[in-house]
Amino acid sequence: MPATLGKQLAAGTYGVSILFRRNIRYVEDRADLEALVALNRELHVAAPDGTPALIAIDQEGGTVARVRAPATLWPPMMAHDRLAPPDDVATAEQVGLAIGQELRALGLDIDFAPVLDVHTNPANPIIGERAFGTTAETVTRRALAFARGLDAAGVLSCGKHFPGHGDTDTDSHLALPRIDHDWARLEAVELAPFRAAAAAQLPMVMTAHVVFGALDATRPATLSPQVITGLLRDQLGYRGVIVSDDLDMKAIAATLGADVAAVGAIRAGCDVVLLCCDETNQQLAEEGLIKAAEGDSELRRRLGESAGRVRAMKRAHVANQAKHPARGLDVVGSAEHRALADRLR
């Protein structure tokens, strides 16, 4: 493997590590925080490109929270609907700051949050109360406030799932959803929070494994150049890092191998590809990218572009962390944070 290509691949596809509950030691349903800190310390020096790895986690609140007690247990973000404006926005920012402070104390860099999906379908099996609201306006205000809170804690945010998973009736972990709204509807509802996120320069956006008939009738957004490059990059003007949702999810894996999916995601415009379940698939994806890039100058260019974005995000992250020193472990599950969580219940 050429050295330059290897460095590009390392930075553009391995720049981020993600932890799940299975990676966290629990003793009688309580997370071993010291063990998690030690694990993250090891992972920070493990990036193949020679720079510290960025360690990510899904810590949204509600059911999607990988670090449980003694960390603060947050209600789902739809709970902000109980608050009147502007208190809902102020509280969302406080919640983002509190979650960020706890993650930062544990040695984590990225929260794969906020959810920017608008919950418009009561039959949606995967988004539901994870959303910040049922209208584009409420989601935009609250979710971007949450992201500002994370930033103030020195944690990177990641808006998801572009261009919107809120009106599906299928779980993309299990099958490939499809949305057939026209452009006017997509622009008014699904895309509105992401347009605002692009303007606010959120550092990361995660893609959806969903087919949008009005945008690309055959390919899910993650694999669609029209959606990722044409829409998110060119039309919405997003300049941050684009990360795929997990390519091991059946919406992708049921029809494509990890090698083909990884190459397709990078060609579409993703900068980081997630493969979260199968180490064999991780190896297959790496080999597929190397083989395809060796004979394709455009793919090599894309890998270099992605690597540059990841490195730039790392530099900005280090600078932001210097402005916001980490709190001690006593902030995790603190009385102040538990009281804030109780406000949403």
Residue 173 appears among annotated catalytic residues: yes
Of the residues 32, 44, 171, 173, only one is catalytic, namely 173
Cα gap 246→180, rounded to integer Å: 23
Range of lowest pLDDT (11-25, 71-85, 88-102, 199-213): 11-25
Cα gap 301→322, rounded to integer Å: 32
Instruction: Kindly report the backbone phi and psi dihedral angles of residue 47, in degrees, each rounded to the nearest multiple of 5, phi listed first.
Output: -65, 135
Full set of structural domains in the chain with CATH: 16-343 (3.20.20.300)
Mean pLDDT throughout 289-311?
A: 94
* 190 has a pLDDT exceeding 90: yes
Per-residue pLDDT reduced to its tens digit, 136-177: 999 999 999 999 999 999 999 999 999 999 999 988 999 999
Residue 337 appears among annotated catalytic residues: no
**Stretch (H or E) spanning 34:** helix 33-43
Would you state the pLDDT for residue 117?
98
Burial of 180 (0-12, 13-18, 19+ CB in 10 A): exposed
Cα gap 108→103, rounded to integer Å: 5
pLDDT bucket at 189, cuts 50 / 70 / 90: very high
Q: Look up tokens 């949606």; give the residue.
A: 124
Q: What angle is formed at CA 39 by the lines to CA 38 and CA 41, rounded to 5 degrees? A: 65
Would you state the pLDDT for residue 52?
77
Would you state the pLDDT for residue 312?
93
Of the residues 49, 245, 248, 259, only one is catalytic, namely 245
Per-residue pLDDT reduced to its tens digit, 22-56: 999 999 999 999 999 999 998 888 666 667 789 99
pLDDT bucket at 3, cuts 50 / 70 / 90: very low
Would you state the pLDDT for residue 11?
44
Mean pLDDT throughout 297-305?
A: 96
How far CA 151 is from CA of 61, 234, 283, 329, in Å, comes to 17, 25, 33, 19
Residue 267 in 3-state DSSP? helix
* 74 CB-side CA count, 13 A: 31
